[in-house]
Structures are given as C-alpha cells and as structure tokens.
C-alpha cells in the first residue's frame, strides 16, 4: 500500500494505534510531543516520526509535502487545539479525518465535582480543603499556582520525571517536597499511599480514562472519602470519532 497515514500520536494509545495500522500494512507517519514519546514510538520499526510542532498551516503544508492520504487524530483527550488544527488541515487538503478518543471513566461518587476549566477547579478546591493534590500534568500548573483562590493552600503536583518538567515546577514555586516526579499510571494502592503521605484534602484530576490512570485515582479517593474535582474534557465537534482501534482500521480501509 503506497498511501500514507498521518497519526497524531501524542499518547500511549496513539502510539499503539500507529503501530496497529503499520502492522496492517499501511505506511504511517506519526507525530510525537516529547523526546520520551519518540523513544517509545521507535519500537515500531518502519514508522516515520515527526517531532516538530505543527499548527494548522504547518500541518497543511506537511500533509501536502508528504503526500498524506488520511489523518488519524489520536492526540490527548484534552488537546483540543491539536484536534482543531488537524481538522482544519484536513479540510484544507481535502483528506479524510478520524478522531480516536479513549473512553471516559464513568463515576458514581457523591464527592466527585465536575468543572469545565482550571479556574473553576481552583475555586472549588479552595472550598473543600487546604492540601490540594494535583494530578493534571505539568502543562497547566501555572493556572493553580497563580490562582488567588489557592494562595493559602498547599499544592502538591505529580508530574513526569523529565528534567525540564521538574524545572518548570521549581520555577512555579513548588518546593522539592511538593513535587512527585514519577511515571504513571499508578495502582490504586500507590495512589492511596501518596494521598496519605501528602495529607491530601482534595484531589484534582482530568477524565483521561483508564489508560491515563483515572480509574485508580478515583478508587483511591473514594476509599479515603476524599473530594475529587474532575476537569471535564473539552467539547469538540469531531468530523468522525470512535473509541475503538478496529473502527479506525475499518474507516481507513473504506477511505483508502
């Protein structure tokens, strides 16, 4: 098969999906958002890798230059801008687009509070406790450190153990004692021990699905009866969307 597929693969399942399509005989170019992601993607021999950030104009040019025939958007569930850029580039180049998005975790917990953004999460957290345990990643930590609602709260962040990420945390004012630099996802038991060690009053997370560790975060919070603030996923109208690898493959076979 000579037609190329571009996979926006900034997640574990994005990388797996790129490998799945490659194993099914398709030529795949996959994008990554970090050096670590690039290292993980290299396990799939034969997949080309793009490590340069692309806005909609850059992606439009990349699609045309590399003769891409179809785009699979497997970016992070919260990377709304990446999805919008991908759809715009596909419209510009008139190629098919499909969004793969992992399932959300279904919660039945009376102390789960859904909010739409980081400001709302900060405000709600300040109403529920003083020790705030952040499991939202590093990209939006400043929204919490700069929040007037949390100026009297103690913040603990759990982030990837990358030097630049730890430096970001330090520059935002986190002391080493408040930075947990570890690779997840974590088991329920590990979450329990962390919540206890850092005396969490409130846990803030995203609904990133079981692959992103949401299930075990929730289970641990429920066992300790901790309030859980969940920043909801961005609401994006996708051209085509599925939560199943086989559906993506069927779409590719139909379009190509």
Q: What is the H or E stretch that residue 23 is in?
A: helix 12-23
User: How far is it, in rounded angstroms, from Cα 4 to Cα 17?
Assistant: 14
**What's the pLDDT at 121?**
97
**What's the pLDDT at 211?**
60
The token duo for 244 is 């199943």
Domain assignments of the chain as residue spans, ordered by start: 4-103+236-255, 112-231
Low-confidence stretches of the chain (pLDDT beneath 70): 1, 37, 209-212
- Give domain 112-231's CATH architecture: 3-Layer(aba) Sandwich (3.40)
**What's the pLDDT at 167?**
97
Same topology between domain 4-103+236-255 and domain 112-231: yes
Tell me the backbone φ, ψ of residue 236, rounded to 5 degrees. Answer: -125, 135
The model's pTM is: 0.82
pLDDT tens figures, 168-226: 999 999 999 999 999 888 999 999 999 999 999 999 998 876 666 788 999 999 999 99
Residues 6+ apart with CB under 8 A from 115: 121, 124, 229, 230, 231, 232
What fold is seen in the domain 4-103+236-255? Rossmann fold (3.40.50)
Beta strands in the chain (DSSP E): 4-8, 27-31, 48-50, 68-73, 97-100, 112-115, 131-134, 154-159, 179-181, 202-206, 228-231, 241-242
The token duo for 57 is 């104009």
**What's the pLDDT at 137?**
87
Residues 6+ apart with CB under 8 A from 141: 134, 157, 159, 168, 169, 172, 174
């Amino acid at each position: 098969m000579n037609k190329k597929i571009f996979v926006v693969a900034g997640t574990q399942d994005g990388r797996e999906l790129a490998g799945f399509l490659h194993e099914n005989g398709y030529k795949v170019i996959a994008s990554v958002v970090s050096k670590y992601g690039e290292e993980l993607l290299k396990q799939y021999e034969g997949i080309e890798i793009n490590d340069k950030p692309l806005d909609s104009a850059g992606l439009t040019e990349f699609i045309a230059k590399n003769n891409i025939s179809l785009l699979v958007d497997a970016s992070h569930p919260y990377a709304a801008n990446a999805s919008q850029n991908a759809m715009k580039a596909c419209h510009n180049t008139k190629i098919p687009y499909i969004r793969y998005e992992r399932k959300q975790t279904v919660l039945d917990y009376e102390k789960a509070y859904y909010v739409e953004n980081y400001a709302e999460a900060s405000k709600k957290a300040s109403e529920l406790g003083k020790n705030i345990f952040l499991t939202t990643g590093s990209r939006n930590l400043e929204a919490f450190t700069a929040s007037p609602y949390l100026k009297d709260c103690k913040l603990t962040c759990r982030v990837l153990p990358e030097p630049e990420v730890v430096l970001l945390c330090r520059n935002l004012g986190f002391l080493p004692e408040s930075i947990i630099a570890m690779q997840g996802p974590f088991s329920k038991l590990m979450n329990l021990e962390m919540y206890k060690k850092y005396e969490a009053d409130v846990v803030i997370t995203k609904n990133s699905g079981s692959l992103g560790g949401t299930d075990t975060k929730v289970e641990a919070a429920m066992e300790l009866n901790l309030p859980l603030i969940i920043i909801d996923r961005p609401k994006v109208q996708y051209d085509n969307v599925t939560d199943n690898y086989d559906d993506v493959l069927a779409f590719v076979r139909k379009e190509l």
